[in-house]
Amino acid sequence: MSASGLRRRGAALALLAALGCSSGDGDAGSLTAVSWGGAMARAVNKAQYEPFEAATGVTIAREDYNGGLAEIRTQVDTGNVHWDVVDLETFDSLRGCDEGLLELMPDDLLGPGADGSAPAEDFWPGTITDCGIGRIFYSTVLAYHPDRFPGETPATLGDFFDLERFPGRRGMRRSPLVNLEFALMADGVAPEEVYAVLDTDAGMERAFRKLDTIRDFVVWWEAGAQPPQMLADAEVVLSTAYNGRIFNAQVAENQPFVIIWDGQVLDFGQYGIVAGTPNLEVALDFVRFASTPESMARVSAEIAYSPVRRSALPLVTTHRETGVAMAPHLPTSPENMGRALVSDTRWWSEHLDEVNERFSAWLAR
């Protein structure tokens, strides 16, 4: 190992010792970590999995999924738990916790902020829950390829639904999540009123009526890697997408995609631990390690998602591979938050099943 490599390993071991994690000596054990594939998986692998393995000797098996609790529920119900740490959408973390599918996180799990602040002060409000530890802020945004619009270019959420001025197919996630919020905001509902409107029958009808106006022109996607490919292949002219996936295509693949931040829906992901895992202590060690400000900042140097710890944000400077300044690309940067909607994850955790059923029936019409 090089001198610089030895220094990095020494620093990581010192951090682990301070946090109470196991060292890399002896049989350090193994872990299965589940993430979202593509650019997200590459980012967390470089920023968290590899450093944790180097510092502890733990072997991490990597798996990908497209979200949801179905596989976790099956593993817990059958007693055959082979996933350990899972990157969860927060509404799934809340639902999984209520159903007993996830382990409770210990109160003393987390270390202090980079500035010495207590975790409860350093983490943004709401990002720590009973069974989940916040890891990144991400946004669902709109994106397009400028070559598809040689004249006027789309600039607002309303333009996504304007087939007359901006004809062509649209990409949308095959889920009511975010699509209902986008529909209401495009129909004139202020971001701060969206969930109050969705809470009414009339508001739900209004959202689906707006989606009806573009339904015949929608190409549905399920994995985060699909929208950039759909845009590059001209399968669609506009698409909803995760902002980090579009950023990765811009800087790593030289795609000229443009992000429309108007009406972005901001959310945060969490790490959860599957209930009944035989590797609980190692899983807790990993979550503790991945939840340090330094670890979060490393993720933000790989992909344009914001850390959920305040003291981590000053540690985010440039993209590791290209040197591109990250601040303008982060969803929480002030210039991108002008008309942002913060996802109400508790609302979705309580209503997802019924809304999913309605959405499926709407798709099948």
- Reading the chain (365 residues) residue by residue, the pLDDT tens digits are 333 333 333 344 444 444 444 444 446 799 999 999 989 999 999 999 999 999 999 999 999 999 999 999 999 999 999 999 999 999 999 999 999 999 999 999 999 999 999 999 999 999 999 999 999 999 999 999 999 999 999 999 999 999 999 999 999 999 999 999 999 999 999 999 999 999 999 999 999 999 999 999 999 999 999 999 999 999 999 999 999 999 999 999 999 999 999 999 999 999 999 999 999 999 999 999 999 999 999 999 999 999 999 999 999 999 999 999 999 999 999 999 999 999 999 999 999 999 999 999 999 98
**DSSP-assigned letters across all residues of 265-300:** EEEEEEEEEBTT-TTHHHHHHHHHHHTSHHHHHHHH
Q: For residue 45, give the DSSP letter.
A: I
* Helix (H), strand (E) at residue 238: strand 238-242
CATH 3.40.190.10 domain locations along the chain: 3-137+268-323, 138-267+329-364
Report whether CATH 3.40.190.10 matches the domain 3-137+268-323.
Answer: yes
Cβ of 267: how many Cβ atoms within 10 Å?
23
Cα–Cα distance, 165 to 162 (Å, whole number): 6
The tokens describing 194, both together, are 């969206």
Q: Which residues pair with 342 in a beta bridge?
A: 266
Task: Tokens for 132, please give them.
Answer: 């989940």
Q: How far apart are CA 236 and CA 99, in angstroms?
A: 38
Asked if residues 308 and 125 have their Cβ atoms less than 8 Å apart, the reply is: no
Tokens of residue 184, six digits: 């209401």
Give the number of C-alpha atoms closer than 13 A to the C-alpha of residue 143, restricted to the C-beta side. Answer: 29
DSSP 8-state symbol, 253: S
Residues in contact with 147: Cβ distance below 8 Å, sequence separation at least 6, in sequence order: 256
CATH 3.40.190.10 for domain 138-267+329-364, yes or no, is: yes
> Angle at CA 267, nearest 5°, toward 197 and 351?
45
